[in-house]
Structure formats: structure tokens, C-alpha cells
Amino acid sequence: MKVACGIGPTGPRHEANGLVPGIPRSPASSQARCAPTLATWYQLVSRIRDIAEHALASEDDDPLRNTRTVLAGFLARALVAPYWVNYHLEHHLLVFVPCWKLREAHALLVAKGYRPRMEIAPS
């Protein structure tokens, strides 16, 4: 009897694919199969997001101009900007603010009258 990735007994021909009824697929083998896709997707998305947040921003010492907030819609937030990273200007200004409070930080900066000086772009 063989054991596949410490999950439980499996037959020799089902050891690699995790298709034995009642025994779940090995998380390690699933991660290994998905790793190349995720690594490629993550690198592409990160590069696009970095360009959107930093490209052509002012290089002076004004912290409201050297990076930007991208007003992302639901789909962009889900696929490209999870964890509220589209509020990148606020992240740079207030690094101690947790990610789920960045939207509130943005609203506070706008309410305080900083909107005309802030670098903000549509999605």
C-alpha cells in the first residue's frame, strides 16, 4: 500500500492524480501545477499595476504627486488590485494605515481639500 503526500492509502495507479473516491487531491500537487500559471499572471498584473501607479508621476518632493491612486471598478479590484492597492497614493502617505482603511483615508484627504493636488486616475 502506498501513501500519496501523507493523505492516506491509495492505489498505485491513482497515486499521482488524487482521483481515489473519498481521498482529496493533494494540496501540494495542486499548488505545484498552478504555480507556473500564478507566477506568470502575478508578474504580469504586478507590472501593469506598477506602471499605472508610478509611471509619468511627478518626480519632485511633493508626496501627493509622486504616485497615484487609481479609481478602480469592481472587476479591476478583483483581478488586478486586490487588498485596496489601487489607493496607492494613500498607501505611500500613510504606511501605518491597514489596507482595508485606505478607502477611508482617501475620503479623508479629499474632505480636507487635498483633491486638487492629489494624483488620481480613472481605472
Tell me the C-alpha distance between 102 and 106, whole Å. Answer: 6
Q: Per the confidence metrics, is the pTM higher than 0.75?
A: no
What are φ and ψ of residue 19, in 5° steps? -100, 15
* Confidence (pLDDT) at 85: 81
Look at residue 31 in the predicted model and tell me its pLDDT.
Answer: 58
Residues 31-66: tens digit of each pLDDT: 566 666 666 777 887 787 777 777 777 777 888 888
Neighbours of 91 (CB within 10 A): 19
User: What is the 3-state secondary structure of the chain?
Assistant: CEECCCCCEECCCCCCCCCCCCCCCCHHHHHHHHHHHHHHHHHHHHHHHHHHHHCCCCCCCCCCCCCCEEECCHHHHHHCCHHHCCCHHHHHHCCCCCHHHHHHHHHHHHHCCCHHHCCEEEC
pLDDT of 26: 54
Closest CA to 119 of 74, 69, 47, 50: 69
Regions of the chain where pLDDT drops below 50: 1-20
